[in-house]
Amino acid sequence: MTIHITPAEAALPSLDLSRFYASAEERQAFVAELRKVLHDHGFFYLTGHGVDPKLISDVVATAKRFFSLPLEKKLEIEMVKSPHFRGYNRAGQERTRGEQDWREQLDINTEEEPAKIDPDSPAWRRLQGPNQWPEALPELKPLLLAYQAEVTRIGIDVLKAIAAALGQPENVFADIYQPQPSQLLKIIRYPGRDVAETDQGVGAHKDGGFVTVLLQDTTPGLRVRTEEGVWIDAPPVPGTFVINTGELLELATNGFVRADVHDVVAPPAGVERFSVAFFLGSRPDATIPVIDLPEDLKRAERGISVDPLNPIFREVGQNQLKSRLRSHPDVARVHYAELLVSE
């Protein structure tokens, strides 16, 4: 039986990142609180992050201007044109567990040159490359790249705090994200249910990276499912980000940290929902090790969750490519047809 809990009955905890850089006593208390959250469900509101509120408001306002562009202008940078899975998707084009997600979005990642490919290159190397940017809104590129840099900083700070909470040196994960982590950023618009064909804004899923840094505008819709099957609403809280842990941390801690399932419910008729999601991941050529946790934490390890429809690989590039092929079958058919299994 699935149980649903309203925000009044249970809410995600809130953690102030500035405490991690405060006095030794404050840091110790913060780390202890974070450790409990990591084991419970890995979702929390983050305050004390130091991001300029003007940058946040500018990103949201400019994202709304992008989605207000005529469809033909957005389709000039449609994702199906990019072998790197960058660009614009109409609502219904991305899928979760085979079902359509009713949101339109623009995906960018690290701005870089295409990888040099030879016959022995793994397929995931083709994910590396430039982003697509709308000519009709030139201010979007510098703004999103500035925001991407800021949330990358936050993600790495949170990752250092997570390392401390696990009884490890702060830089324990550095070897698998330096010199360049994956920096997937999405600006997202969810149309109301009078437009959406289902109430699935995004289907139930786990995130594949280290941590997700989510900016919500003003309309609720995000839900988190605990191990007991309880759904917890995570409505927008001004001035905060929602942080959640991903599959890489579940792999690295043998399940002490769990990448929990979450979804987004489409907003009511006549209402739009906007969000900006950032997914901090490892560099693609890394392999995720198992960290030797302290004995008291090791006793609480739960092992890796098993989902036949979504296997988790320790080879990061293989995980990243698997995720993109499954989520964007139209792009996969055009650029990766040789990898697709015939039915």
Domain range for 96 is 3-337
Q: Which of 54, 67, 93 is nearest to 327 (CA)?
A: 93
Mean pLDDT score across all residues of the chain: 93
Domain membership of residue 49 (yes or no) is yes
pLDDT at 69 over 80: yes
Q: Residue 8: which pLDDT band, with cuts at 50, 70 and 90?
A: very low
Helices (H) and strands (E) in the chain, counts: 9, 15
* Total domains present in the chain: 1
pLDDT tens-digit series, residues 109-154: 999 999 899 989 999 999 999 999 999 999 999 999 999 999 999 9
SS (H, E, C) 113-148: CCCCCCCCCCHHHHHCCCCCCCCCCCCHHHHHHHHH
Query: What phi and psi values does residue 54 have, to the nearest 5 degrees?
Result: -65, -40
Domain membership of residue 212 (yes or no) is yes
Q: Which of 154, 125, 183 is nearest to 49 (CA)?
A: 154
CATH number for 228: 2.60.120.330
Per-position DSSP letters for 73-128, written without gaps between them: HHHTTBGGG-TT--EEE-TTSSEETTEEP--EEEEE----PPPP--TTS-GGGGG-
Which residues are paired to 106 by β-bridges?
A: 88, 187
Domain membership of residue 282 (yes or no) is yes
Distance CA 10, CA 8 (A): 6
Strand ranges for 234-321 from DSSP E:
241-245, 262-265, 273-281
> What's the pTM value of the predicted model, to 2 decimals?
0.95
Domain membership of residue 342 (yes or no) is no
